[in-house]
Amino acid sequence: MSIRKIYISVSLVSTLLILGYYLLNLIPMMRQGDLNSEDVFRLAAIAIIASIVLNIAGNILTNIVIHIIHAIQTQSDKEVRLIEDERDKLISLKGAQVSYVAFSLGVLASMLAFVLGQPALVMFCLIIFFSLLAEICGDLAQFYYYSRGS
């Protein structure tokens, strides 16, 4: 597995964890029918902040682990070449495009739910859900492009 794939995997796992946490808290609220704005906004804020923090922490940890493994394998203090070349940039752009399309469709679906009579709070919950889903789609797309070659 290449270094880029490891970084994408870390991002994918952290976003999946956040999505899991978000759904595990949101679904019981919806089932009980007591969706109140304060709880929903707090949950959304936790999900967004945790997503950022987990991604940064994950990247730092991955960096450390990669450097340690590289040092053990090569038995030298030569640094790992962590450059982003044109292919990496292209794949990153393709991933961002997939994320953008997924998020746009998600926002459209959320608005459709609002138009069909769901409360505004449900629309907000759906937008947060689709933003996390879009990030997962982008990561999966990048993973696919790296596996395919470009």
Partner 1 sequence: MEKYKVRNKLRKLRFLNGEMTQEQLAEKAGVTRQTIIAIEGSKYAPSLELAFKIALAFGVPLGEVFSYEIGDE
Binders of partner 1 among residues 18 to 47 (CB under 8 A) are none
Identify which of residues 33 and 149 has a Cβ nearer to partner 1 in the complex.
149
Applying CB under 8 A, does 76 fall inside the site for partner 1? no
Applying CB under 8 A, does 78 fall inside the site for partner 1? no
Applying CB under 8 A, does 74 fall inside the site for partner 1? no
| 101-110 own/partner pairs: CB under 8 Å, 24+ apart | 102/130, 102/133, 102/134, 102/137, 102/138, 103/130, 103/131, 103/134, 105/130, 106/130, 106/131, 106/133, 106/134
Residue 47 near residue 132, CB atoms below 8 Å = yes
The single residue among 56, 87, 93, 112 that binds partner 1, judged by CB under 8 A, is 87
Conformation bin of residue 79: beta by default, left when phi > 0, alpha when psi is -120 to 50: beta
Applying CB under 8 A, does 83 fall inside the site for partner 1? yes
Binders of partner 1 among residues 88 to 117 (CB under 8 A) are 88
Residue 91 near residue 145, CB atoms below 8 Å = yes
Report in angstroms how near the CB of residue 146 gets to partner 1 at its nearest.
Answer: 8
Binding residues for partner 1, rule: CB under 8 A, are: 2, 4, 81, 83, 85-88, 146, 148-150
